[in-house]
């Protein structure tokens, strides 16, 4: 399986199109049009005068502006939380971050956004005590996935929105 994956990646890289424009004009004695010259300049000089890499704002592929806004956001300097510890609301709780083991029923096409379904493969019990069965094996999960995948990214954004019990 690992060898097959490696060979598939090599084949995909071999047949993939290049992202840069490789058209060159010959015989005219000049380097192309103004647009081509600008493209050559931006490729040849990847850093600005401040030493920071240039960010191509025309391509939202990596959402670089959102990432920079997150990094440059004002930090939260509160030292005391306004929230207080509360008793558990119910013993029938699956805490956020709990793993619900499931197998995909529908496939993911990362070039198009869409709906996805999966089936729970193991019983899931409550988080506080682990004694109450909350999600039985065979329950179905329904969710949505996003198609905004950057080049080289190996994961897709997916959110589960519904749970259908088997009974």
User: Nearest 5°: phi and psi at 66?
Assistant: -65, -40
Query: What is the β-pairing status of strands 124-125 and 114-120?
Result: unpaired
The token duo for 34 is 């103004």
- Tokens for 157? 């954004």
How big is the chain, counted in residues?
A: 167
Number of domains in the chain: 1
16 belongs to a structural domain: no
- Please report whether residue 53 resides in a domain: no
- Tell me the per-residue pLDDT of 73-104, one tens digit each, with 9 for 90 and over: 887 777 888 888 888 778 899 988 899 999 99
C-alpha torsion angle, residues 135, 136, 137, 139 (rounded to 10): -60
Residue 51 lies in a domain: no
Residue 128: give its domain's CATH number.
2.40.128.260
Least confident of 16-30, 56-70, 107-121, 127-141: 16-30
What is the distance between the alpha carbons of residues 125 and 97, in angstroms, rounded to a whole number?
Answer: 14
Q: Is residue 147 in some structural domain?
A: yes
Which carries the bigger pLDDT value, residue 11 or residue 143?
143
Q: Is residue 82 part of a domain?
A: no
Asked if residue 80 belongs to a domain, the reply is no
Answer yes or no: is 138 within a domain. Answer: yes
- Residue 53 DSSP class: B
Residue 86: the pLDDT is 81
Separation between Cα atoms, residue 128 and residue 87, nearest integer Å = 12
Q: pLDDT tens-digit profile of 122-160?
A: 999 998 888 999 999 999 999 998 877 778 888 888 899
Q: What is the pLDDT of residue 19?
A: 54
Q: What is the pTM of this model?
A: 0.49
Average confidence (pLDDT) over 46-51? 48
Does residue 45 lie in a domain region? no
Instruction: Print the domain residue range for 114.
Output: 102-164
Q: Is the pLDDT of residue 48 over 90?
A: no
Q: What's the mean per-residue pLDDT of the chain? A: 76
Residue in the structure block whose two tokens are 């670089």: 64
Neighbouring C-beta atoms of residue 102, cutoff 10 Å:
19
Model pLDDT, residue 125: 95
């Amino acid at each position: 399986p690992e060898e097959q994956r490696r060979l598939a990646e090599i084949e995909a890289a071999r047949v993939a199109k290049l992202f840069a424009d490789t058209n060159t004009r010959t015989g005219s004695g000049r380097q192309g049009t103004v647009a081509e010259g600008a493209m050559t300049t931006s490729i040849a000089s990847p850093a600005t005068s401040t030493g920071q890499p240039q960010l191509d704002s025309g391509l939202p592929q990596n959402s670089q502006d959102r990432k920079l806004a997150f990094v440059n956001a004002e930090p939260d300097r509160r030292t005391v939380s306004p929230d207080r510890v509360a008793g558990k609301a119910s013993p029938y709780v699956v805490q956020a971050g709990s793993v619900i083991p499931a197998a995909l029923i529908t496939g993911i096409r990362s070039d198009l956004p869409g709906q996805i379904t999966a089936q729970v493969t193991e019983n899931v019990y409550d988080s506080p005590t682990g004694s109450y069965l909350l999600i039985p094996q065979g329950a179905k999960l329904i969710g949505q996935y996003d198609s905004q995948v950057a080049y080289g990214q190996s994961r897709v954004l997916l959110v589960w929105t519904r749970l259908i019990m088997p009974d």
